[in-house]
Amino acid sequence: MFELPQAHTIIEPFKIKVVEPIPMPTLKERRHALAAAHYNLFNLHSSVVTFDLLTDSGTAAMSAEQWAAVMRGDESYAGSRSYERFEAAVQDVTGLPFVIPTHQGRSAEFLLMRAMLRPGQLVLGNTHFDTTRANVEGAGAVAVDLPSPATKDTAALHPFKGDIDLEALERTLTKEKGKVALVILTVTNNSVGGQPASLANARAASESCRRHGVPFFLDCARFAENCWFIKQREAGQRERPVALIARDLFQVADGALMSMKKDAFGNIGGFLALRNRGLAEAVRSLMVVTEGFPTYGGLAGRDLDALAVGLKEVLDEHYLAYRVRSVEYFGQGLEQAGLPTVKPWGGHAVYVDAARALPHVKPLQYPGQSLAVALYEHIGIRGVEVGSVMLGTRNPKTGEESPAPGELVRLAMPRRVYTQSHVDCMVELAGHLVPHLPELKGYEITWQPDVLRHFTCRFKPL
Ligand SMILES: *Cc1c(COP(=O)(O)O)cnc(C)c1O
């Protein structure tokens, strides 16, 4: 009798039951599509995109169990069995008693901010996601980011770059006594590259909040990826099931909001879960106007059922090992091919550093856009620029622009969608692109709207 060593290769822990062909446009077709899209990748039709890495939101492959749950959906207007199953799944994973479904994450944000905030108040967080910030501001309050000081160095291999800065939190809670309405810890911290926050950080932040009488919330769109990082990286967590780590995380929160288009494998959906009955009642009376009756919250019964299954499935540790490893594998591959990336790699995306890849393109000639266009033109990858196009600032009077702090291209990985050979192919072609990087030209914006220009603006190659 003998036993083989454990395999180093981490496999996709599923087999494929349904397939969808991916488009294979030629170079000529891609160039034509780019020109027709005015070099803005948001304008491309998905029918000309081979590897769609625009986002990990709502793009997951549902499992056989989720599709079976779709068939069990109970479409009763009120009190459906689908809601009961949804409520039980959220309660089981989070331990939070009051569960409110919403049609996606931002509607949970909208409801929470309208119910909790008064004009002039402050909301503190590790880094507010852009829709969270917009909903805080929409309620007349101010969103203040207190990210970990470790985020300043994009190459530093800090294990918990998603932490909130505890000193700054305590300082702000003391200085702004009475003004802070809410603290939100986003796990993982999307805006700093899907970096995790530690359990110790969440506990300490919650403790600070409790001392100051301020509610502590989680924006838990990627809670399972975050808890997997805690298991791998935090002292004393290695032997503990991720589901228990997640319960510990939610235990210190007064509530949580989630975009279930991320770690619940949903194509649509979200929730707001609360400990406080009075707040839950306030939200339920508000939501009828925008989301509908409190037991369906803008979703069909079949969605609620698929999400209830997905929320439990994501805690499967074979899945999480594969998920985080496959993002890391992609990051390593791109580095070896010669593309500089932001490290450590996060839970849901690899960020390529276009400022380092294209040092000859000036920030206001948009190196991130140039690289994103080249990745599509030559490899068929659709990523998204996260640099001066998206985050640069413009003086509304003079039109003068200031560049963003970084010039990145985000390549987000949809969940359970692409396989290792897809990644191998992208990496192989990236290796062929790298020697040509010095030939890439910058871009000029020929038309732009007043706000959120990256979605619709038009470019011209220089
Ligand atoms: C996606 C996301 C949201 C918004 O959720 P939607 O479902 O897109 O409305 C909020 N917070 C974080 C951290 C997210 O990643």
**Is pLDDT at 189 greater than 80 in this prediction?**
yes
pLDDT, residue 451, reads 78
pLDDT, residue 202, reads 98
Catalytic site includes residue 77: yes
**Is pLDDT at 199 greater than 80 in this prediction?**
yes
pLDDT, residue 225, reads 98
Catalytic site includes residue 129: yes
Nearest-angstrom CA–CA distance, 116 and 374: 45
How does pLDDT run across 202-226, given as a tens digit for each residue?
999 999 999 999 999 999 999 999 9
**Is pLDDT at 21 greater than 80 in this prediction?**
yes
pLDDT, residue 398, reads 86
Angle at CA of residue 314, ends 47 and 158, nearest 5°: 95
From the CA of 10, how far away is ligand 1's center (Å)? 29
**Is pLDDT at 267 greater than 90 in this prediction?**
yes
Is the distance from CB of 200 to CB of 155 less than 8 angstroms? no
Estimate to the nearest angstrom the gap between the alpha carbon of 201 and the chain centroid: 20
AA letter at 154: T
Q: Residue 448: pLDDT band by 50, 70, 90 thresholds?
A: very high
pLDDT, residue 335, reads 97
**Is pLDDT at 143 greater than 90 in this prediction?**
yes
Q: Residue 397: pLDDT band by 50, 70, 90 thresholds?
A: confident
**Is pLDDT at 103 greater than 90 in this prediction?**
yes
Is the distance from CB of 151 to CB of 186 less than 8 angstroms? no
**Is pLDDT at 429 greater than 90 in this prediction?**
yes
**Is pLDDT at 154 greater than 90 in this prediction?**
no
pLDDT, residue 152, reads 83
Q: Which of 54, 57, 223 to mutate to test the pocket of ligand 1 (most atoms within 8 A of CB)?
A: 57
pLDDT, residue 450, reads 82
Max distance between CA atoms of the chain, in angstroms, equals 79
CATH of domain 64-313: 3.40.640.10
Q: Where in the chain is the domain with CATH 3.90.1150.10?
A: 27-56+317-461
From the CA of 129, how far away is ligand 1's center (Å)? 7
| Binding site membership of 261 for ligand 1 (Cβ less than 6 Å) | yes
**Is pLDDT at 250 greater than 80 in this prediction?**
yes
Neighbours of 2 (CB within 10 A): 3
Nearest-angstrom CA–CA distance, 80 and 221: 25
* Exposure class string for 40-74: b at 16+ Cβ within 10 A, else e: bbeebeeebbbbbbbbbbbbbbbbeebeebbeebb
Higher-pLDDT residue of 130, 207: 207
| φ and ψ of 410, to 5 deg | -90, 130
Among residues 129, 160, 329, 330, the one annotated as catalytic is 129
Arithmetic mean of pLDDT over the chain: 96
**Is pLDDT at 155 greater than 80 in this prediction?**
no
From the CA of 189, how far away is ligand 1's center (Å)? 11
Q: Given the CA of residue 108, which atom of ligand 1 is nearest to it?
A: 9
Question: What is the DSSP track for 15-79?
Answer: --SS--PPP---HHHHHHHHHHTTT-GGGS-GGG-SEE-S-SSS-PPPPHHHHHHHHH----SSS
Catalytic site includes residue 300: no
**Is pLDDT at 190 greater than 90 in this prediction?**
no
How does pLDDT run across 44-87, given as a tens digit for each residue?
999 999 999 999 999 999 999 999 999 999 999 999 999 999 99
Mean pLDDT, residues 407-430 taken together: 97
Nearest-angstrom CA–CA distance, 93 and 83: 15
Within 8 A by CB and 6+ apart from 176, the residues are 122
Q: For 27-56+317-461, which CATH superfamily applies?
A: Aspartate Aminotransferase, domain 1 (3.90.1150.10)
Is the distance from CB of 250 to CB of 94 less than 8 angstroms? yes
| pLDDT > 70 fraction of the chain, expressed in percent and rounded | 100
AA letter at 389: V
Question: What is the DSSP track for 105-167?
Answer: HHHHHHHHHHHH--TT-EEEESS--HHHHHHHHHTT-EEEE-B-GGGGSTT---TTTT-B-HH
Is the distance from CB of 80 to CB of 301 less than 8 angstroms? yes
**Is pLDDT at 272 greater than 90 in this prediction?**
yes
**Is pLDDT at 452 greater than 90 in this prediction?**
no
Among residues 221, 264, 280, 300, the one annotated as catalytic is 221
DSSP run (H or E) holding 410 = strand 408-412
| Binding site membership of 188 for ligand 1 (Cβ less than 6 Å) | no
Catalytic site includes residue 130: yes
Q: Residue 413: pLDDT band by 50, 70, 90 thresholds?
A: very high
Mean pLDDT, residues 311-316 taken together: 98
Catalytic site includes residue 150: no
| φ and ψ of 126, to 5 deg | -65, -55
Is the distance from CB of 165 to CB of 198 less than 8 angstroms? no
Is the distance from CB of 298 to CB of 291 less than 8 angstroms? yes
| Binding site membership of 194 for ligand 1 (Cβ less than 6 Å) | no
Q: Residue 298: pLDDT band by 50, 70, 90 thresholds?
A: very high
Nearest-CA residue for ligand 1 atom 2 is 259
Q: Residue 395: pLDDT band by 50, 70, 90 thresholds?
A: confident
Conformation bin of residue 279: beta by default, left when phi > 0, alpha when psi is -120 to 50: alpha
Angle at CA of residue 257, ends 176 and 287, nearest 5°: 100
Q: Residue 193: pLDDT band by 50, 70, 90 thresholds?
A: confident
Q: Residue 399: pLDDT band by 50, 70, 90 thresholds?
A: confident
Q: Given the CA of residue 270, which atom of ligand 1 is nearest to it?
A: 7
Select from 244, 213, 192 the least CA-distant residue to 386: 192
Q: Where in the chain is the domain with CATH 3.40.640.10?
A: 64-313
Nearest-CA residue for ligand 1 atom 8 is 105
**Is pLDDT at 192 greater than 90 in this prediction?**
no
Neighbours of 389 (CB within 10 A): 23
Nearest-CA residue for ligand 1 atom 10 is 105
Structure tokens at 1: 């009798």
Higher-pLDDT residue of 404, 67: 67
